[in-house]
C-alpha cells in the first residue's frame, strides 16, 4: 500500500524517524555522531513543551510505514521581527527519491510558514551533496554564500560556559 500522505509525526513514528536520521547520518559520513535516543526524540517532539516538530510521508512498504520525514523548529529573525521555520533534516528513503515526496514535505512546510506568518524557511545542505543541491535549486532555494556557519560543541562548549 502506497499513500504518500503527509501528516504530523506521532509518537509511534519515533523509531522509524530515528532510523532514518541514522540512515541520513551514514549518508553524510557522520554515523558515529548520531547518538540521539528514542527517549530524547519523544521528549523533544511530544513532551510538555515540544522544541521540535516533524512531518512524515506515509508509504507502507517492506514492513515500514514511512517513506520520509522533515524535522524542524522555529527560529527568529530580528530583521523581520518574526519567526522562521528552520528545517533540521529532510530525508526520503533512497528507493523513493524522485517520487515527489521531498517536494511534498517542503511544500507542507512552506504552507506552515504561510499559515502562521513565518518570515522564511531555511536549512543547511552539505556543499558536496550535489543531488540535494540540484533539487533545492529546482524549487527556488538560493544559497546564502555570504554567511559562514559557526559551531561550539563538546569541550569548547564547556570551556566557553566556564568563562
The radius of gyration of the chain from alpha carbons, rounded to an integer in Å, stands at 17
Does residue 136 carry a catalytic annotation? Answer: yes
The number of beta carbons lying within 10 Å of the beta carbon of residue 104 is: 18
Where helices occur in 14-140 by DSSP H, the ranges are 14-27, 38-46, 101-116, 130-138
Among the listed residues 90, 86, 27, 94, the one whose alpha carbon sits nearest the alpha carbon of residue 56: 90
CA atoms within 13 A on the CB side of 129: 15
3-class secondary-structure state, position 2? coil
Cell of 28: 553524510
The residue whose grid cell reads 506521532 is 10
The residue whose grid cell reads 522509524 is 16
Out of 91, 101, 118, 136, which one is annotated catalytic? Answer: 136
Among the listed residues 110, 102, 145, the one whose alpha carbon sits nearest the alpha carbon of residue 124: 145
Catalytic residues: 136
Amino acid at each position: 500500500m502506497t499513500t504518500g500522505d503527509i501528516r504530523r509525526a506521532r509518537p509511534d513514528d519515533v523509531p522509524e524517524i530515528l532510523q532514518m536520521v541514522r540512515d541520513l547520518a551514514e549518508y553524510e559520513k557522520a554515523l558515529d555522531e548520531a547518538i540521539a535516543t528514542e527517549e530524547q526524540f519523544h521528549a523533544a517532539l511530544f513532551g510538555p513543551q515540544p522544541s521540535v516538530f516533524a512531518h512524515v510521508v506515509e508509504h507502507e512498504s517492506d514492513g515500514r510505514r514511512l517513506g520520509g520525514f522533515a524535522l524542524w523548529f522555529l527560529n527568529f529573525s530580528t530583521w523581520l521581527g518574526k519567526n522562521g521555520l528552520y528545517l533540521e533534516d529532510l530525508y526520503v528513503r533512497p528507493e523513493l527519491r524522485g517520487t515527489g515526496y521531498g517536494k511534498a514535505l517542503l511544500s507542507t512546510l512552506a504552507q506552515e510558514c504561510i499559515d502562521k506568518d513565518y518570515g522564511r524557511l531555511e536549512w543547511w545542505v552539505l556543499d558536496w551533496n550535489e543531488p540535494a543541491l540540484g533539487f533545492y535549486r529546482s524549487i527556488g532555494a538560493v544559497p546564502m554564500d555570504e554567511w559562514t556557519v559557526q559551531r561550539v560543541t563538546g569541550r569548547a562548549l564547556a570551556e566557553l560556559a566556564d568563562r
